[in-house]
């Protein structure tokens, strides 16, 4: 495993972390072997949210790492109420924080993040000041926002003086790269979510495979799915004959950007975990990056097929 700075927080995070959205999704599954193996492989950054896995994701992290707390960096989120919407009130944040601390079996959270707000959050200085107070008290070590869109990221860094930002970025969603310079110059940690495009860049969502439950192709629709498939066909040079799998190529593309602190692919498979972790330390070559730019032309930097 290789490690990078999480901005100017002083934290060293594994290049490949673990997105814990799927964790706890099946109440009959034992996720402890997955978490034990991830720590063995050097993964120290774990990103979750209060409601992930029907509120079981944090519980699994708490059970696995309660006695190894100093070895891991735990990031969680608040603000989303499934089936209801968003609540950015200070009271709701404090309630969510207390519940997350209980589930995680810890008395502090390394990175506490707003979960997918829109730009209207930026004038909410009451919430910002409450987070700053929690940081001063040590209940949270750092705070950030999980968001989408390059300009929103730039504005959030300027208005909120964030410690870290989490943003969607991958081979099909490149527009956010316009914010990477702002992250680097401000010393803001940059966490990349959905680096495998919800599984498409894992190479398994082929046209021959039927659309199953929770399949992202259902929300993309035929046009955006077809666009992805066409681009993957053109990008086969990233995996064919390189010794990389599709997942590793996609992760190493993201890790080729120096501003990135960590990528957080989500999985509940130990085999996929090991495959993802093996991408650490690798980068695309300059020639491969040039071929990508040539393939996608001037639209490369603006591509955004969405989540």
Phi, psi of 296 (to 5 degrees): -100, -5
Tokens encoding 303? 């591509």
CB 219 within 8 A of CB 225: no
Q: Report d(CA 278, CA 16) in Å as an integer.
A: 9
Reduce the DSSP state of residue 169 to 3 states and report it: coil
Specify which residues 238 forms β-bridges with. Answer: none
Reduce the DSSP state of residue 190 to 3 states and report it: strand
Phi, psi of 197 (to 5 degrees): 55, 50
Q: Which residues contact 71 (CB under 8 A, 6 or more apart)?
A: 39, 44, 65
Phi, psi of 72 (to 5 degrees): -125, 155
CB 61 within 8 A of CB 295: no
User: Which pairing describes strands 262-263 and 189-193: parallel, antiparallel, or unpaired?
Assistant: parallel
Compute the residue count for the chain.
307
What radius of gyration do the chain's Cα atoms show? 19
Q: Report d(CA 23, CA 95) in Å as an integer.
A: 22
Distances (CA, A) of 214 to 94, 217, 218, 219, 246: 31, 9, 8, 9, 21
Which among 46, 52, 112, 143 is annotated as catalytic? Answer: 52
* Angle value at C-alpha 215, between 41 and 307, nearest 5 degrees: 80
CB 37 within 8 A of CB 268: no
**Is 52 designated active site?**
yes
Task: List active site positions.
Answer: 52
């Amino acid at each position: 495993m290789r490690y990078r700075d999480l901005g100017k927080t002083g934290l060293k995070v594994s290049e490949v972390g673990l997105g814990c959205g799927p964790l706890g999704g099946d109440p009959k599954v034992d996720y402890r072997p997955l978490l034990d193996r991830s720590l063995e492989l050097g993964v120290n950054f774990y990103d979750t949210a209060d409601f992930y896995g029907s509120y079981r994701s944090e519980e699994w992290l708490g059970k696995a790492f309660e006695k190894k707390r100093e070895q891991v960096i735990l990031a969680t989120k608040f603000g989303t109420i499934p089936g209801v919407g968003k609540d950015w009130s200070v009271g709701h944040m404090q309630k969510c924080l207390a519940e997350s601390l209980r589930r995680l079996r810890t008395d502090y959270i390394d990175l506490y993040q707003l979960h997918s707000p829109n730009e209207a959050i930026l004038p909410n200085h009451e919430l910002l000041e409450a987070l700053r107070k929690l940081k001063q008290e040590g209940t949270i070590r750092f705070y950030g926002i999980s968001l989408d869109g390059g300009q929103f990221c730039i504005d959030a860094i300027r208005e909120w003086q964030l410690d870290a930002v989490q943003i969607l970025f991958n081979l099909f969603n490149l527009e956010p790269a316009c914010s990477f310079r702002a992250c680097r110059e401000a010393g803001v940690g940059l966490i990349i979510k959905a680096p495998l495009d919800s599984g498409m860049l894992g190479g398994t969502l082929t046209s021959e495979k039927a659309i199953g439950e929770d399949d992202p192709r259902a929300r993309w629709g035929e046009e955006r799915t077809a666009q992805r498939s066409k681009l993957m066909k053109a990008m086969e040079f990233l995996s064919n004959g390189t010794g990389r799998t599709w997942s590793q190529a996609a992760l190493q593309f993201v890790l080729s950007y120096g501003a990135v602190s960590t990528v957080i692919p989500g999985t509940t498979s130990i085999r996929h975990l090991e495959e993802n972790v093996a991408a650490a330390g690798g980068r695309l070559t300059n020639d491969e990056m040039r071929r990508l730019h040539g393939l996608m032309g001037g639209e490369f930097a603006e591509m955004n097929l969405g989540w």
